Each structure stands twice: as C-alpha cells, then as structure tokens.
Structure 1
Amino acid sequence: MPTAARLMAAVCLAALAYVLSSIVVPLMPESTDFGIFFPLNSVLGFGVGWFVMGRRAGRGTTAAINNGLTGVFVLLLWGVMVQAINEMVRRAMLNRYDNAFEAMVAIFQLGAEYAYLIAVVPMGIAAVIGAVIAGLMTEYADNHWK
C-alpha cells in the first residue's frame, strides 16, 4: 500500500544512490563505459527504499536510523550484484566463458572486485550520513503524513 513513508524512503534512497554512484565513477578505470549506471542505481535505490525501508517506518528514532543503515546496506549489496551480473553478461556475449558454471562463478568474483574497489572512506562516510538522513526523513514522513 502506498504511504508517505514509502515514497520518502524511495526518493531519499534514489537520490543517495545517485550520489554514491557519482563517488564510484572516479574510482573506476578511465576506459569504463558507464551506460545506464546512474539510472539503474537510482531505480535500485527507489525500489529498496519502497520495499525495504518504507514498510519498516514508524518504530521510533533509533529504529529509523537502523532502518536507514539497513536500507543503504541492501542498496549497496544489490547495486554491486546487479553491476556484476551486467558485466558478466557483457563478457559472456564476448564468449569469455566456457560454460554456464564459469559465468555464474564470475558474478561473485566480479562482485567481490567491485566491493573491494568501492570500499573507500568517502564512500563509507557518504553512505552512513545518507543512511541516517534517509532513515530520519522516512520516520518524519510516517509520523506527519499518515
């Protein structure tokens, strides 16, 4: 059911996903083609905000901060995995894998590489601050627009 808290969480995480994506761009090699990187991550943020954070709103300030941290963790997890799957499919179309099992293993290898690549201090600071703000704004929306 649509609520103000779900909408607020979705918009906050979509915006945060865009900000975090802009932090990731300089970390990647210069030859990287980002394609739909920003819109895809923003859509993921919107979905995570709507389905994960929005339904858990209304439990108090501490729970709101925890909700924001959980939402951002899920966003980062899904973002890394979706980008790893995207890269695996791109490589598979170039016949880089001998069989399907090798391609499936590559998803986790690429995901681990991407997670290691984005594990930098500015990314962590932006993620934590954004998580707290998103959680508190979601709680505010739930309390004031029922």
Structure 2
Amino acid sequence: MQQKWICLNNPLLPMAEGILRRQMQGEKEGRGDYTYWQIQTPLFFRCMILTLNPPRVQSMVQQQQQQQQQQQQQQQQQQQQQQQQQQQQQQQQQQQQQQQQQQQQQQQQQHFYSNNVSLCSTSVIRYSVMNGVRSQQPRQI
C-alpha cells in the first residue's frame, strides 16, 4: 500500500472528480478499489490523499510525471535553440562589424589615393648626376 499526497490544481480537477465518482460507484457495488478523501483548501486547491492500490492509478500519475518531464525537456531544448540563435545573431553582428571596418579601411585607402593622385600620376623629375652630366629622367610611379 503506497500512500501519496497529490495536490491537484484546476486543470486536473475533472480527472480527480472522475476518480472520486468511480470510487463511490465501487463502494456502492461493494468493490473497495482504493480509499480516497477530498479536502477543500482555502486556496481553492483540492488536495487528495490517494492510497494507490490499482496499477491504473499509478500509471495515471506516472503519465502526468512523464508529461511534465517532457514539457520541461522541450522548454530546455527551446531555450538552447534560442541561445544558438542569439549566438548566430552575435556572429552576424560581428561579421557586419568586420564588413564595416573593411569598408572604412577601403574608404580611407581611396581617400589617400585620391589625395595623392596628382603626385602619383605626374612624372617625377629625377636629377641624377652620371659621369658629371646632369640628366632629367621622367619616371612614372
């Protein structure tokens, strides 16, 4: 004989009332399947003491526990997925920042070249003294 306290919140009340109805019917018919007390609490919870003899009641409780565990696992998976999405977003942001930095560097380079185009494109006159003769050699850079 296992005795368990099960506090049932509003969503589970119909099932509890069904169990209570079956138990009352069983008592009328002389079948004492399980003992069951119903207590009305001030917090509008119905707390029941179940003496779990039949395996079907145990299986109902186990199913509820399994469902709760599955829901918790699903929530954890969703949280993990959200974390992964956040990480991906952060990576994308980092990539965008890198792209922006590259664009800035390109702009700076273009700015440098545009300022110095006049110097680079013109021929630089180099005076070199060769054999005592001064020669002008235009040279493109």
Per the shorter chain, which TM-score range? under 0.3
Which protein has the bigger helix share?
1
For the pair shown, the structure with the greater C-alpha radius of gyration is 2
Which protein has the bigger strand share?
2
Report 1 or 2 for greater relative contact order, CA contacts < 8 Å, sequence distance ≥ 6: 1
The TM-score, its normalising length taken from structure 2, stands at 0.26
